[in-house]
Amino acid sequence: MLGRVNHIAIAVPDLAAAVAAYRDTLGASVSAPQALPEHGVTVVFVELPNTKVELLEPLGGDSPIAAFLEKNPSGGMHHICYEVADIIAARDRLTATGARVLGNGEPKIGAHGKPVLFLHPKDFFGTLIELEQV
Ligand code: CO
């Protein structure tokens, strides 16, 4: 069911500092920041040969990553995104096994314009999983 790792997302308290660390210290190729108000984040894409890392900074009052940063003030790995060919088939297979899909269970359009779902971290060893249909 799972395909490639589409991205790994890291929540950061200071996007400019995170960009400097990835670009200057680690020597990575880093995009310009993109504000995504409908997702409550500003994102920078770190382009790697085999996948990408997304650096997420809270945007607005009720950012979905605000609580995470309260618990992890210096930042931390927030989620990993796996690609699937058919997100509805993936959801139905997961829920049939008892895995919990966050929200109302219907895919939303994610930061890349593709349908996404998030899976409860307690069902997957403490890791928030995003599925993206590609
Ligand atoms: Co993501």
In three-state secondary structure terms, 38 is: helix
Reply yes or no on whether the pLDDT at 101 is more than 90.
yes
Q: How far is the CA of 7 from the centre of ligand 1 (A)?
A: 7
Reply yes or no on whether the pLDDT at 85 is more than 90.
yes
pLDDT at residue 39, rounded to an integer: 86
- Catalytic positions are 130
Reply yes or no on whether the pLDDT at 110 is more than 90.
no
Q: How far is the CA of 59 from the centre of ligand 1 (A)?
A: 15
Reply yes or no on whether the pLDDT at 112 is more than 90.
no
pLDDT at residue 111, rounded to an integer: 79
Could you tell me the CA-to-CA distances from 12 to 1, 44, 71, 114 in Å, in that order? 30, 11, 12, 24
Q: How confident is the model over 76-85, as a mean pLDDT?
A: 98
Domain coordinates in residue numbering, the chain: 5-133
pTM: 0.93
Of 129, 105, 126, the closest CA to residue 118 belongs to: 129
Which CATH code for domain 5-133?
3.10.180.10
